[in-house]
């Protein structure tokens, strides 16, 4: 029996574990990336391990999230990250050079390699045939130090593509259709591997759009083969030497398969407030639009923005619409500038933003109250835009540009002939904004906002935990630890940022948690979906939350909870969620024995003689980490 593409890369990087069994595996990581919203913690954690230099083939520190500098905090973080990258041997992508995933795809991604990033959209590089995964900053810090990355042995879901996209239909519509079919929980525990004759019709930037939004399925990663399209892209980036052909064997097997005929797709849109709330644009074609935002790590490539230019050229944005555009990288921006496309975009009435994440993370350009914003982004969680009552629709660049012209949600097929954009034979290459690894004697700069990393205490053998909060399904990391221009600058200061934990749910929650000293959270399915931000575990840990009991977890968030000493538990009987209310108390006894055993165990709800049965699914390695109070404590104990 042959191997699929995922198995080939896993096998070549396997440090421990068995791919033929459903247990935990450990992988060697070739490359890492961090960004400034998560990078300060990652480098503080790396420093705490007392390592002198990174031990990967390549590690890159990007500045792309916190580029809005309304106070000293973000600027201080950038100075810290630049000096830390120099000292520890990482590349440093300066502010303005672009969004980490777009730049990494352009300048660093390599077929067949592994990439671990402290951002959930790291699988973008899967469009290059790279096995790339998002993780918490602590896992990335360990990988930078040469340590293995541990994860549950994933299942592999093959998505067999046939046919070719019709006019005005794009790669965004492919992943929206997959989200419609599978839902935001459909990829949990899986790697999505794309194959079939339809694959060869998609360019690397189109593939990257698809793998980027695989994160919204909860998938561990998504990957395309490395083929002629990969070579074409690498040649255009002046990196032909990085090409390696990679594909699944013809007789490879998979755990699951779905088939998708690209020729049957139509322009789609994801309605508020979930990326899987998908329907054809034609079903909402009378919806007035107040804002259009084009960019983010999902749809800000040269190809994407040239399509937008072709649609807007010689026309003008509707007077009731604010159109903002953020190129994904300095390379994209400079090429648009040199070929005249930037002038055409500006002449249409578009507003140009910095090459950064910007509106996607609520960092500027919040919509009008109760407004409708059509965005080419990857997430439309409630309140993420910065306007709590706004309605965010996710769409392709074609749909977004058409809607900007008409003032309502528009099927671009009504515009006539589709735009034609030639793939460039050579991209403009200028790496002057990427600083190479520097002097190991570099003094690390620390502003007053950069506070020491708090650590959890070792886990007690018995805990009586009041229920601080009860929540429903699909709680996002934005719900747990909001982003935005007011909160993101506090990423290096856990005591300060913890004041905003669950702020949208209960503005007084931090003070309530401190008053209780120790507590537990209870929720439904897919708890912790969305971003990889470990602050969604760090802040609750700082507030004394010792355990989280849910019906199911998102992969990255569960790993982050373990890394910071919070016990992740799931119900054996899901209906027990209905028995528990805020203010109740759960009594957990003999935890050391329970955590070391794979068997479910009973906890007491108040004084009820009918226990709540729970399970943890921890490996022995994870059990030791939890009992030590987190990964850093466990690592220090072994030194």
Q: Spell out the alpha helix ranges (H) of 597-630.
A: 620-628
Task: Count CA atoms within 13 Å of residue 472 on its CB side.
Answer: 1
Coil, helix or strand at residue 13: helix
Under a CB-based contact definition with an 8 Å cutoff, are residues 330 and 354 in contact? Answer: no
Residue of 65, 78, 104, 413 with catalytic role: 65
Residue that is written with structure tokens 């020729």 in the block: 263
Residue 421 half-sphere exposure, CB side, CA atoms within 13 Å?
24
430 in active site: no
Between CA 390 and CA 406 the distance in angstroms is 20
User: Strand order of the sheet with strand 256-261?
Assistant: 221-223, 190-195, 155-162, 256-261
Given the residues 30, 36, 61, 64, the one annotated as active site = 64
> How many whole angstroms separate alpha carbon 356 and alpha carbon 35?
11
Which residues have CB under 8 Å from 492's CB, separation 6+?
A: 40, 41, 44, 73, 76, 77, 80, 449, 450, 451
Is 379 catalytic? The answer is yes
DSSP string computed for 177-207 = HHHHHH-TTTTBTEEEEEESTTGGGS-HHHH
Q: Which structure tokens are listed for 436?
A: 């190479």
Does the CA dihedral 279-283-287-289 come out positive or negative? positive
Cα separation values, 51 from 70, 88, 249, 417, Å: 34, 8, 40, 58
269: β partners = 279
The answer to whether residue 119 is catalytic is yes
User: Helix/strand/coil (H, E, C) string of 537-597?
Assistant: HHHHHHCCEEEEEECCECHHHHHHHHHCCCEEEEECCHHHHHHCCCCCEEEECCHHHHHHC
How far are the Cα atoms of 96, 156, 430 from residue 254, in angstroms, in the given order?
42, 6, 41
> Catalytic residue at 242?
no
3-state SS, residue 236: helix
Pairing of strands 91-93, 114-117: unpaired
Q: Quick one: DSSP state of residue 364?
A: S
Q: In which region does residue 336 sit, left (phi positive, over 0), alpha (psi from -120 to 50) or beta (all else)?
A: alpha
What is the three-class DSSP state of 287?
Answer: coil
Which residue among the candidates 118, 322, 492, 531 is catalytic per the annotation?
A: 531
Q: Which residues contact 153 (CB under 8 A, 6 or more apart)?
A: 17, 18, 19, 21, 22, 23, 24, 25
Q: Which residues contact 537 (CB under 8 A, 6 or more apart)?
A: 136, 557, 560, 561, 563, 564, 566
Marked catalytic residue, from 158, 330, 379, 558: 379
Q: Are 153 and 17 in contact (CB under 8 A)?
A: yes
Dihedrals phi, psi of 194, to nearest 5 degrees? -90, 135
Handedness of CA 278, 284, 287, 292 (dihedral sign): positive
273 prior amide bond cis, ω within 30: yes
Phi, psi of 347 (to 5 degrees): -65, -25
User: Of the residues 30, 76, 77, 119, which is catalytic?
Assistant: 119
Catalytic positions are: 64-65, 119, 379, 531, 533
């Amino acid at each position: 029996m042959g191997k699929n593409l995922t198995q080939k890369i896993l096998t070549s990087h396997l440090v421990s574990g068995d791919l033929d069994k459903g247990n935990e595996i450990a992988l060697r990581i070739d490359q890492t990336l961090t960004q400034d919203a998560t990078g300060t913690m990652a480098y503080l954690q790396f420093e705490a391990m007392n390592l002198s230099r990174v031990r990967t083939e390549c590690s890159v520190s990007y500045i792309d999230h916190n580029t809005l500098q309304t106070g000293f905090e973000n600027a201080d973080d950038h100075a810290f990250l630049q000096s830390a990258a120099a000292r520890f041997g990482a590349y440093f992508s300066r502010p303005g050079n672009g969004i980490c995933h777009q730049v990494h795809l352009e300048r660093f991604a390599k077929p067949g390699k592994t990439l671990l990033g402290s951002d959930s959209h790291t699988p973008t590089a899967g469009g290059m045939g790279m096995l790339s995964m998002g993780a918490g900053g602590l896992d990335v810090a360990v990988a930078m130090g040469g340590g293995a990355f541990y994860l549950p042995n994933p299942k592999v879901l093959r998505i067999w593509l046939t046919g070719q996209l019709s006019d005005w239909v794009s790669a965004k519509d492919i992943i929206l259709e997959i989200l419609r079919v599978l839902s935001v929980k459909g990829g949990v525990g899986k790697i999505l591997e794309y194959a079939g004759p339809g694959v060869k019709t998609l360019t690397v930037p189109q593939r990257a759009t698809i793998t980027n939004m695989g994160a919204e399925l909860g998938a561990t990663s998504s990957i395309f083969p490395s083929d002629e399209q990969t070579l074409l892209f690498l040649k255009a980036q002046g990196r032909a030497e990085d090409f390696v052909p990679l594909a699944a064997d013809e007789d490879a097997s998979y755990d699951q398969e779905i088939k998708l005929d690209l020729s049957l797709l139509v322009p789609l849109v994801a309605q508020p407030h979930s990326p899987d709330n998908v329907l054809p644009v034609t079903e909402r074609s009378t919806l007035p639009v107040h804002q259009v935002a084009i960019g983010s790590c999902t749809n800000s490539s040269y190809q994407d923005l040239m399509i937008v230019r072709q649609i807007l050229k010689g026309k003008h944005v509707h007077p009731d619409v604010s159109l903002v555009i953020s190129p994904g990288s300095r390379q994209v921006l400079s090429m648009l500038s040199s070929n005249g496309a930037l002038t055409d975009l500006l002449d249409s009435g578009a507003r140009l933003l910095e090459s950064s994440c910007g509106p996607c993370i609520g960092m500027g350009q919040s919509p009008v109250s109760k407004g409708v914003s059509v965005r080419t982004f990857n997430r439309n969680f409630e309140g993420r835009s910065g306007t709590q009552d706004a309605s965010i629709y996710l769409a392709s660049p074609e749909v977004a540009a058409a809607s900007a012209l008409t003032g309502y949600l528009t099927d671009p097929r009504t515009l006539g002939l589709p735009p034609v954009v030639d793939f460039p034979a050579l991209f403009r290459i200028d790496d002057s904004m990427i600083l190479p690894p520097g002097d190991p004697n570099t003094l690390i700069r620390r502003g007053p906002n950069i506070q020491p990393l708090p650590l959890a205490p070792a886990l007690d053998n018995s805990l009586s935990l009041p229920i601080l909060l009860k929540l429903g399904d699909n709680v996002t990391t934005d719900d747990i630890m909001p982003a935005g221009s007011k909160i993101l600058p506090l990423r290096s200061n856990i005591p300060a940022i913890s004041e905003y934990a669950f702020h949208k749910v209960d503005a007084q929650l931090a003070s309530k948690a401190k008053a209780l000293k120790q507590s537990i959270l209870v929720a439904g399915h897919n708890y912790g979906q969305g971003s990889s931000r470990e602050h969604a575990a760090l802040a609750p840990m700082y507030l004394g939350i010792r355990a989280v009991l849910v019906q199911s977890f998102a992969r990255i968030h569960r790993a982050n909870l373990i890394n910071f000493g919070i016990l992740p538990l799931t119900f054996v009987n899901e209906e027990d969620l209905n028995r528990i209310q805020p203010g109740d108390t759960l009594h957990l006894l003999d935890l050391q024995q329970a955590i070391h055993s794979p068997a479910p165990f009973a906890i007491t709800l108040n004084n009820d003689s009918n226990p709540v049965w729970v399970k943890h699914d921890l490996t022995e390695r994870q059990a030791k980490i939890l009992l030590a109070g987190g990964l850093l404590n466990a690592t220090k104990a072994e030194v």
